[in-house]
Structure 1
Amino acid sequence: MNVGFLNINWTDVLDVFLVSILLYQVYILVRGSIASRVFLGYLFVYVFYLVVKGLGLGLLTAILQYFMGVGAVALIVIFQQEIRRFLLIIGKSTIYTNNDFIKRFMGTSVLDVKTKNLKEIVDASKTIASNFNGALIVVNKRDDLGKYIETGELIDSKVSKPLLASLFNQYSELHDGAVIIVDGRLKAARCVLPVADGVDVPSSLGFRHRAAMGMSEATDAVVIVISEQTGKISLAVDGELHGGIPVGEIQSRLEEYLASDKQRLTH
């Protein structure tokens, strides 16, 4: 099919359609963050580069071509969290992660340990909240949280209510930062978490809640965050903060999320 001076066939239409879907998915991943502005700016420059190249402006094309090459490396650095999330989404949609037989065969024992310890975690959270002590408790799902564990003090202990409550006591040297629990083991305390800095993050949120959102955005872990001012317990999943959850439902919400392939909590 000829449209003006263009010769278009069905493969060109399919190519444009697939690229459009890819660009839309990338935009969804970076939407609401500072990286989204960088993405749109780079996309604008790339379109301008194509126009200049099509017009045959050699010098400007060479300059923009060099810029695009350097910019591609810069984008990898800027979008490292978004790229990781994109690959994580792909990984979760594979046959392996969605095969019920394989999950039962490989992951049942680990899941049992996680859910068994949730009561200890929730009971400890209630105690911490009643004492108006702030807390960040990270519970892994599938992601390896090793690089975040290394930022804190290694413990590698069995999870218990007294231990968690004592760690977040205001007089404890380890009460700052987060506790990370992996496969039912309390791996480390006083860990440093990535902080959410998107434009859609409410300015009223404190550093602790921003860290909970940032960690849940960077990984598939669920983060329990307790406000030091109000004593309220919230859950952060997939970069979203869920507050106002009845205390009696916190454990069931956690069990449902950790046992499923969902990336969000049910409301």
Structure 2
Amino acid sequence: MDIGFIKITWTDILDIFLVSLLLYQVYYLVRGSIASRVFAGYMLLYVFYLIIKALGLNLMTAILQYFMGVGAIALIVIFQQEIRRFLLVLGRNATITNSRFLSRFFGNAVKNIEAENLATVIEAARSIASDFNGALIVVTKQDDLTQYAETGVLLHAQISKQLLLSIFSQYSALNEGAVIIADGKIVAARCVLPVNEETEVPTSMGFRHRAALGMSESTDAAVIVISEQTGRIGLAIQSELHSNLPVKKLGEMLGAYLYENVIPVTEKVANES
């Protein structure tokens, strides 16, 4: 296909489409963060470099070309968290890693929490919120969270509402940090989670919300976060924080995420509400 003096082939169209898709994915990862401004500045500089090169300004082109080469290395350092997040998204969504047969080779052999236990967790979250006690509850999906569990106190206890309430009581020695739930058990309490430093979190949200976001970015776990000041319940899933959720909505979102659009806990939670 000829457009004026430009000859365009189907490979050129494919090339433009793939570059556009790549730029969109990069923007999606860095949007709302400080790194997004760096990315926008670098793109503007690159466009300026292309214009200078097209005009034939050789000296300026050589200077900018050297700067762009050094800048590429600097971008790897600046965007190391975003690059890691991008690779995690690829690995999480890849067909080969989601295969049940091959999941054991990629560490995805964790069993989903049972619907009855999930309902117990949601009931406990409601009680904790009504008492204005802060909490972080990590519910495992597929990723192995052993490295995070080992930062806290190992329990390997059966899931119960009373135990969760006692852990997050203001008088408990375990109320700081997060509880990790995996394989139908409370694996550990007082765990340290990776904290998000890039996304601009509203001032009304504190350290717990940043930890919930950081955990949802690093793993595929669902993280229930309860504010100690407001008693509001939030849910961090796949790098997104959903705040001020009613108990019924929390059950629906957890059920849909953990059971792939099957919501076995909604009815029980609705009755309890």
Q: Structure 2: give runs of 5+ residues left out of the alignment.
A: 263-273
Deviations 1:206-239 (A, max 9, x none): 3322332333234322111112123232222233
Counterpart Cα distance in 2 of 1:44 and 1:234: 37
One-letter amino acid matched to 1:132 = F
Structure 1 unaligned spans of 5+: 263-267
Output the TM-score relative to the length of structure 2.
0.76
Give 1:192's aligned residue.
193
Q: Is 1:232 the equivalent of 2:240? A: no
Q: Which residue of 1 aligns with 2:35?
A: 35
Distance in 1, Cα, partners of 2:14 & 2:167: 56
The TM-score with structure 1 as length reference comes to 0.78
Change (3 A) 1:40 1:148: farther
3-state SS in 2 of match to 1:245: coil
Distance in 1 (CA, whole Å) between partners of 2:29 and 2:53 is 30
Match of 1:44 in 2: 44
User: CA shift at 1:257, angstroms?
Assistant: 0.8
User: More displaced, 27-36 or 204-213?
Assistant: 204-213
Tell me the distance in 1 between the aligned counterparts of 2:178 and 2:23.
35
What is aligned with 2:156? 157
SS in 2 for 1:54: helix
Alignment of 1:133-212 (within 5 A): 133-146=133-146, 148-149=148-149, 152-161=151-160, 162-185=162-185, 186-195=187-196, 197-199=198-200, 201-212=201-212
Displacement, 1:134? 0.6
The CA deviation at 1:18 is 1.9
Displacement after TM superposition at 1:98 (Å): 5.9
1:260 aligns with 2:260: yes
Aligned to 2:111: 110
Distance in 1 between residues matched to 2:217 and 2:247, nearest whole Å: 24
Relative distance call for 1:183 and 1:54 in structure 2 (3 A) is farther
Taking the aligned partners of 1:136 and 1:28, their CA distance within structure 2 comes to 26
Pair 204,232 (structure 1): closer, same or farther in 2 beyond 3 Å? closer
The amino acid that maps onto 2:254 is L
DSSP 3-state at the match of 2:111: helix
Structure 2 equivalent of residue 216 of structure 1: 216
Larger deviation, residues 21-30 vs 8-17:
8-17
Question: Could you tell me whether the CA contact under 8 Å between 2:110 and 2:141 is conserved in 1?
Answer: no
Amino acid at match of 1:141: K
Q: How many residues align?
A: 258
Decide whether aligned partners of structure 1 residues 224 and 49 sit closer, same or farther in structure 2, where only a CA change above 3 A counts: same
Aligned to 2:127: 127
Superposition RMSD in Å? 3.4
Equivalent runs, 1:2-13 vs 2, <5 Å: 8-13=8-13
Q: How does 1:96-107 map to 2 (within 5 A)?
A: 96=96
Contact 1:81 1:218 in 2 (8 A): no
Deviation string for 1:5-51 (max 9, x for gaps)? 75544423332232122212221222212111111111112222233
CA contact (8 A) 1:149 1:188 kept: yes
- Identify the residue that residue 86 of structure 1 maps to in structure 2: 86
Per-residue displacement from partner, 1:230-264 (whole Å, max 9, x unpaired)?
323222223333344332453443222112289xx
- Contact between 2:159 and 2:184, CA under 8 Å: does it hold in 1? no
Percentage identity across paired residues of the two chains: 57
Separation of aligned partners in 1, 2:56 and 2:72: 23
Give the Cα–Cα distance (whole angstroms) in 1 for the partners of residues 67 and 183 of structure 2.
45
Aligned to 1:265: none
Distance 1:43 1:107, change over 3 A: closer
Query: In 2, Cα distance between the equivalents of 1:84 and 1:114?
Result: 31
